[in-house]
Amino acid sequence: MIIDKKPIKTPLTPIKSRLFDKYQVNVWVKRDDLNHSTVQGNKWHKLKNNLLQAKKQGKDTIITFGGAYSNHIAATAAAAKAEGFQSIGIIRGDELENEPEKWSNTLTTAFNNGMQFKFISRAAYRQKEDASFLSSLQNQYPSAFIIPEGGSNQYAILGFKDLVKDINEQCPEWTQIYCAVGTGGTLAGLIHFSQILQTQDTFLKPYSIKKILGVPVLKQGEYLALQIQNLLQDSENIKVKKTNNMTDINWKLLTQYHDGGYAKQSAKGKNFQHSFEKEFSILLDPVYTSKMVYAFYDQLKTGKIPKGSNIILLHTGGLQGRKTP
């Protein structure tokens, strides 16, 4: 079950390296890939309130959007199955419709969990947020609850309260969180609740500045800044009065680490991923978390991270994406 499942306090695993000693930083991996067997990481947080809303509205089907390598597609199929919903995935690109042998492991995983696919052209897919397109889709499937691409909406953001609370309890003096970014919902959730929830060290440090660094995994990710701002503005209870104990949050997108674009990975990127996994025995996914971790390493080596920093690398799951068709 997803909706009724209590949040799991996932490990905050310290990782040690001579490189980290050289630059005098402390580093942890927040192992949110361990929060659920099939709805891993940020997808569990994003989907639980969406599914609860679908049940409240009496819907029996979940419709959502994604590409061939979308962790959200795989997670939605698994979550819908667990909660007794049918699921339909509107997939970007119609070239795979009649060639299931070329499907990614992510698509195959979703299909095996009962998701029906509707492959559409890239031109048609660009209408996924258009009001008339969504109205037509709702009319076609009146008993369906429609979740946007990546699951990023106000219900998704509200699902990150427990994660931020968990992080604050495990490492009250964190200074930076690095997070991969696809559609911006996870980053918005982290920002929102990091501003609201007090850390445990406020009696020692009445006013501290923390940073959340988002690493877009697709080219030209600058547009996501506005999307994240809009998500924050649309969220419930987003207005927060600052007090002397308020934790100030600076956030920034690091758009230069896409490594060729969405679901692309260079030989350099692959070598980095393999090296990290060998050193720390923590598996990464090539679409999201590997690029995020690489960004952190590059930032560290280029002097962009102050000495004494306490850095958390958020592992958002998606490990089904490691496998090839």
User: 30 and 175: one domain?
Assistant: yes
Tokens of 263: 């679901």
User: 317 and 300: one domain?
Assistant: yes
Q: Using CA atoms, how far apart are residues 67 and 73, in angstroms rounded to an integer?
A: 8
Number of domains in the chain: 2
Q: What is the pLDDT of residue 8?
A: 78
Q: What is the pLDDT of residue 235?
A: 65
4 domain-assigned: no
User: 165 and 145: one domain?
Assistant: no
Domain boundary among 94, 123, 153: 153
Asked whether the predicted pLDDT for residue 2 surpasses 80, the reply is no
User: 136 and 265: one domain?
Assistant: no
User: 140 and 176: one domain?
Assistant: no
Q: What is the pLDDT of residue 242?
A: 43
6 domain-assigned: no
User: 266 and 211: one domain?
Assistant: yes
| Mean pLDDT computed over 68-91 | 94
Asked whether the predicted pLDDT for residue 323 surpasses 90, the reply is no
Asked whether the predicted pLDDT for residue 284 surpasses 50, the reply is yes
User: 77 and 173: one domain?
Assistant: no
Q: Which domain holds residue 50?
A: 42-153
Domain boundary among 153, 178, 209: 153
Buried-exposed string 136-175: b where 16+ CB fall within 10 A, e elsewhere: ebeeeeeebbbbbbbbbbbbbbbbbbbbbbbbbebbbebb
User: 104 and 161: one domain?
Assistant: no
Count the Cβ atoms, other than its own, within 10 Å of residue 198: 14
| Mean pLDDT computed over 272-301 | 97
User: 61 and 201: one domain?
Assistant: no
Write out pLDDT tens, residues 118-128. Answer: 999 999 999 99
Q: Which residues on neighbouring strands pair with residue 62, listed in sequence order?
A: 87, 145
Q: Say what the pTM is.
A: 0.88
